[in-house]
């Protein structure tokens, strides 16, 4: 078996994508953070001392998507053309869902940028609300869909 991220001498390498066609790439990822009712209400009501949690998480998710190649060793730096972030309230679960949509015109996909954006957004919510609830749980981080590129389109199959 040959590995795409190892060269002929078994040394790490970043895949050369220069021969790949540039296409419009889009990826959407999401993740959820669950917490106690008090922390959830404080975030929803915007009453935390640290400031507006949702707005800060949106900015953090955008920044996370833009910094992906500095965090994930074999990710290519991409010229992102757009990052859109939603933070949705899930009151029945005392949770917030972070959804990130990333797009670019390029030779490699933006799945990792969308997933990184989600992760950084969730971590920001945790950071800003940990004084109220250190037991918050982040999870269900997943690629929901992607389009563009050689591998084609993908949409998560929900049961």
Handedness of CA 91, 30, 119, 135 (dihedral sign): positive
The one catalytic residue among 45, 127, 133, 153: 127
- Decide if 127 is catalytic: yes
Q: What distance in Å separates the CA atoms of residue 4 and residue 15, rounded to the nearest whole number?
A: 7
CA distances from 17 to 13, 92, 93, 101 (A): 12, 45, 43, 23
As given in the structure block, the two tokens for residue 46 are 């915007």
Active site residues: 127
């Amino acid at each position: 078996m040959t590995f795409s991220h190892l060269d002929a001498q078994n040394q790490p390498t970043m895949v050369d994508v220069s021969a790949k066609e540039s296409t419009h790439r889009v990826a959407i990822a999401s993740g959820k953070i669950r917490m106690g009712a008090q922390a959830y209400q404080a975030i929803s009501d915007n009453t935390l001392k640290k400031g507006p949690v949702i707005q800060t998480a949106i900015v953090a998710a955008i920044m996370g998507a833009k910094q992906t190649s500095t965090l994930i060793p074999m990710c290519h730096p991409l010229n992102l053309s757009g990052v859109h972030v939603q933070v949705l309230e899930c009151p029945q679960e005392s949770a917030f869902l972070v959804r990130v949509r990333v797009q670019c015109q390029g030779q490699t996909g933006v799945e990792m940028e969308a997933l990184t954006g989600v992760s950084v957004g969730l971590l920001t919510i945790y950071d800003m609300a940990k004084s109220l609830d250190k037991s918050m749980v982040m999870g269900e981080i997943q690629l929901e869909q992607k389009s563009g590129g050689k591998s084609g389109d993908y949409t998560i199959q929900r049961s």
